[in-house]
Amino acid sequence: MIIGLLFYGIILSFLALFVRKKYNFLRWIIFSFYIFLTLFLTITIGKDSTYFETFNLISILNFDLSLNFRITPLGWLFTLFTTLLLFLTSIFSIVKNKNEDAERLINFFWFILIISNTGLFLADDLFTLFIFWELIGISSYFVISPGWVSSFRAVNYYFIFSIICSFFMFSGIMILYEGTGTFSIQKNVLYFISLFENSPLNAIFVAISLIIGFFVKSALFPFHIWPAQAHAKAPDDFSSVLSGIIIKYGLYRTILFFIPLFLFIKEYPVNHIMVNNIPLFSHILAWSGAITSIIATFLAIESNDMKKLAAYSTVANMGYITTALFSLSSFGIAGAIFHTINHAIFKTAIFLSIAAVKYRTHETQMHKLGGMAYKMPVTFLTFLLAIISAAGIPPLNGYVSKWMIYQGLLSSKFPFLTLAIFLSSTGAFMYLFRALHSIFLGQLPEKFDNVKEVPFLMQIPMYILMFLMVSIGIFPQFVINLINSVLTSYNISNINIKNSMIFSPLSGIDSVKVFLAFTGSFILAFILYLIGKPRKHVQPLDTYTAGQDPADFNLTRELYHFAYKFYGPFEHMFDSFRTDTKEFYDSIERKINEIGGYFRDFQSGSIRGTIYTFMLSFVLIIIYWWLL
């Protein structure tokens, strides 16, 4: 069934290539239809872990290359929510891409992307995983930069990081293959664990080469810069996919390999360095997540481009997820997976509402916008709910997962990691409010007086996303039950949940009651509002201006919008630190340029140089092979 799905996907993608340019929307409708089909099949198959499929690709010299698919609870969960969000984004894209040029091939690459998405999460062996991993890298490369100069630099950034990442991943996979003689993920993970017992040096090399891919793809410190480039410059609808979904692939692979390993070490800690009852390596990873979240938060506070701000927010959220994941308690892991899903939902909502604003105004600098809420109420509401969710404020979905993350960190006694998360989530509130104010509130500039709400087809995904955010916030048990089955498959104790009441070692919450408390208070507020004397509407410029009539000093609404350098004095506090970091990165860039220049001279000089390079690398490979 899975192979059939992928195969039909390829056929449909070629079919869509031949659609006339006049009927552009048809191409995107085919695309949406295909994603819907995938979603439908994912739901019908169910999370039954015995389902297995194989497709023999080629078999040479005992080198059995076949595509194997298996449904695991984790893979199924990831497939489900990524497909759902891709479906919503594709509906948004139908209108958005109707009038764009050069998108015949982009549609094709979107197809490749969604096919690989399904393939990646359902893959049963490393070979299949790697193929789809690469396909995603390549297809997203073309989608980010459909021939635009502005995004070309950004996409190169992304592509180079992707290549580094897949190189390391491939070498890690090959070392594992050498040991097991098979690509099966389960066997390789077991071998990986045993490798840690037998030859730790080798194992650490494999671990590092596998983890580097994770660091790069999930933009952890010190690779936290590329999302701000790539996500900000990608087409608006694709940014939501990049930020909501593609950044999660590294995380998925890390859960596959490292969670069983660390849990094993945690259980049998002989011969291993343990810090606070978890392995040292895991502790370091948790800290890198925390540092990432803090740095990305402060970068987000500073950025003035709304897509950049959202991209840094994604990086910060990846930081929380990593920290929670590697705290290795059942609440931490469950919270991490739950936050991955929640983050995908609210980040898609944020990027879609940003895309809607940009669709109408063609502007991404926040200080040039303002007052969009008065013209685009649905977009505003989506953004509002999304930032409430992103800041982890009850009663929307973000708070359940953030609460679980805190329970995980606090119950396994990590004081400073918890503090880091506290710091960055308060910072999150700062930059999210800044975005809300600068884009949607304040004064509406005169040039946007004729802006209208986006077409109804674009509003549909927003309504669905709002519904998802509210309903998961009130009834988290539906998602937590799915996560519980993932935890069972890793032999971790389940989250204790009874209806909507979640019990943790430290406390318990009932999200229905949390919601009711808020609703009740709102009703009380509304009654008080009705009791008070009536209010009247006034013009936006009729504000307190110290007695001066705005018309007298040519005050326009655009001038009166306070958004530029919103946290100016606060940013000045970090001036010295910022210069140091910038100098550090600049010096690295200079070094890399130097080395690159050296190689360029070496190669383009003469054919002899090229041969020398080739021979040198050959010798290096032999030495490398020897050493292992």
Instruction: State in angstroms the smallest separation of the CB of 4 from another protein.
Output: 46
Q: Which two structure tokens, joined as six digits, stand for 375?
A: 């013209």
Among 429, 463, 475, 602, indicate the residue that binds another protein (CB under 8 A).
429
- Which stretch, 49-57, 86-94, 532-540, 583-591, contacts another protein (CB under 8 A)? 532-540
Say whether residue 536 binds another protein (CB under 8 A). Answer: yes
- Which stretch, 21-29, 264-272, 407-415, 469-477, contacts another protein (CB under 8 A)? 407-415
- Helix pair 24-45, 104-122: axis angle to 10 deg: 10
Instruction: State in angstroms the smallest separation of the CB of 251 from another protein.
Output: 24
Residue numbers 303-362 binding another protein by CB under 8 A: none
Largest Cα separation within the chain, whole Å, is: 89
Among 524, 595, 620, 628, indicate the residue that binds another protein (CB under 8 A).
524
Among 279, 392, 445, 476, indicate the residue that binds another protein (CB under 8 A).
392
Say whether residue 446 binds another protein (CB under 8 A). Answer: no
Residue numbers 351-370 binding another protein by CB under 8 A: none
> Smallest Cα–Cα separation from 86: which of 464, 483, 477, 470?
464
Complex with another protein: residue 33 or 526, whichever CB lies closer: 526
- Helix pair 397-411, 306-325: axis angle to 10 deg: 40
Instruction: State in angstroms the smallest separation of the CB of 43 from another protein.
Output: 33
- Which stretch, 279-287, 338-346, 418-426, 575-583, contacts another protein (CB under 8 A)? 418-426
Report the distance separating Cα 37 and Cα 33, nearest Å. 6
* Residue 491: partners with Cβ closer than 8 Å, 6 or more residues away: 263
- Helix pair 104-122, 126-144: axis angle to 10 deg: 150
Among 292, 403, 459, 462, indicate the residue that binds another protein (CB under 8 A).
403
Say whether residue 173 binds another protein (CB under 8 A). Answer: no
Say whether residue 419 binds another protein (CB under 8 A). Answer: yes
Complex with another protein: residue 196 or 298, whichever CB lies closer: 298
Task: Report how far Cα 198 is from the mean position of its chain's Cα atoms.
Answer: 36
* Residue 373: partners with Cβ closer than 8 Å, 6 or more residues away: 380, 440, 441
Residue numbers 461-520 binding another protein by CB under 8 A: 501, 505-510, 513-514, 516-518, 520
Count of residues that bind another protein according to CB under 8 A:
82
Among 22, 362, 537, 608, indicate the residue that binds another protein (CB under 8 A).
537
Say whether residue 174 binds another protein (CB under 8 A). Answer: no
Say whether residue 529 binds another protein (CB under 8 A). Answer: yes
Instruction: State in angstroms the smallest separation of the CB of 302 from another protein.
Output: 13
- Which stretch, 45-53, 306-314, 405-413, 476-484, contacts another protein (CB under 8 A)? 405-413
Task: Kindly list the distances between the CA atom of residue 134 and the CA atoms of 117, 162, 248, in Å, as whole numbers in the listed order.
Answer: 11, 9, 15
Complex with another protein: residue 200 or 508, whichever CB lies closer: 508
Among 108, 262, 338, 406, indicate the residue that binds another protein (CB under 8 A).
406
Instruction: State in angstroms the smallest separation of the CB of 278 from another protein.
Output: 16
Say whether residue 185 binds another protein (CB under 8 A). Answer: no
Residue 371: in which H helix or E strand, if any?
none
Task: Report how far Cα 614 is from the mean position of its chain's Cα atoms.
Answer: 38
Say whether residue 394 binds another protein (CB under 8 A). Answer: yes
On whether the CB atoms of residues 240 and 77 are closer than 8 A, the answer is no
Instruction: State in angstroms the smallest separation of the CB of 441 from another protein.
Output: 4
Report the distance separating Cα 379 and Cα 372, nearest Å. 9
Report the distance separating Cα 345 and Cα 248, nearest Å. 12
Tokens 């997976």 map to which residue? Answer: 337
> Smallest Cα–Cα separation from 357: which of 338, 376, 374?
376
Say whether residue 391 binds another protein (CB under 8 A). Answer: yes
> Smallest Cα–Cα separation from 121: which of 85, 170, 172, 69?
69
* Residue 73: partners with Cβ closer than 8 Å, 6 or more residues away: 47, 49, 482, 485, 486, 488, 489
Instruction: State in angstroms the smallest separation of the CB of 569 from another protein.
Output: 4
Q: Which two structure tokens, joined as six digits, stand for 146?
A: 């459909």
Output the DSSP codes for 415-432. HHHHHHHHHHHHHHHHHH
Instruction: State in angstroms the smallest separation of the CB of 225 from another protein.
Output: 23
Tokens 């499929």 map to which residue? Answer: 53
Residue numbers 539-598 binding another protein by CB under 8 A: 539-544, 546-549, 557, 560-563, 566-567, 569-570, 572-573
Among 131, 190, 393, 470, indicate the residue that binds another protein (CB under 8 A).
393
